[in-house]
Amino acid sequence: MDILSFYVNKKIVRVKIEWTTNKNIYLKIKNDDIVVSAPKGVNLKLIEKFVSENIGKFSKYLDKEKKNKLFSIQENFIYLKGKKRQFIVLTGFKKLSFKEIENNLYLNTKTGDEEEVIFIIKSLLKKTLEDYLKKNINIYEKKLFLDSHDIKIRYKTSAWGTNIISKRRISFSSRLAHYDNDVIDYVIVHELAHTLEPNHSSNFWKIVESIIPDYKKIRNQLKSIPNDR
């Protein structure tokens, strides 16, 4: 992949070129990198001109993301259950997987490609949250005198959780696995409370508060968390 370098806000910003069959040129954020997507055969000077005119806002975006990064492939870390964990990427495996040996986290990849690492990270998040929900969601269902729900886990950035009341199905974002138990518990109770109160009425919040007394503090914390992926 070709790389262009630009001097923006007193620092050097590198931009990867992704050659495509599309007709237009555009910028995007991909795996913490700024990438310019351009049609094959387009003059390099035209690409440089386009990037120069648009890179400012993306550079500011990356500065913000670095402060709130939940995982980094370049720095080999991930936040799991509120704790920063370093991971080691291994190559030469036929199947993408992860394992933990003596508190060391290993990501088994085929080639070490970023897309492979991200796939494994998302699998790790899903498994981590899945294990926690299996042990804890039933506790809160009993506290609220509710029958069990069908649980789905997906990597979502649009919502932390969604309760489809008619189907008794709750979908959680696997991104919750980045955060500590208090945050996860709040989202669990929040979604379960919707089974009793579909709207965010005063009664709804009373239900949440009866289980999570400091829910306001946690809710404000969640509002400040960026949807970075």
User: Tell me: the pLDDT tens digits for 99-139?
Assistant: 999 889 999 999 998 889 999 999 999 999 999 999 999 99
What residues does each domain of the chain span?
3-67, 69-229
For the stretch 7-27, pLDDT in tens is 776 666 778 888 998 888 988
**Residues 104, 71, 87, CA angle at the centre, nearest 5°?**
15
* pTM exceeding the 0.75 threshold for the entire prediction: no
- One DSSP character per residue, 118-173 reads HHHHHHHHHHHHHHHHHHHHHHHHHHTT----EEEEE--SS-SEEEEGGGTEEEEE
pLDDT score, position 229: 37
Residue range 69-229, CATH number: 3.30.2010.10
Q: Is 17 helix (H, G, I), strand (E, B) or coil?
A: strand
Residue 114 identity: E
d(CA 154, CA 106): 22
Q: Hey, which residues does 172 pair with through a beta bridge?
A: 153, 161
Checking if the pLDDT of 6 tops 90, the result is no
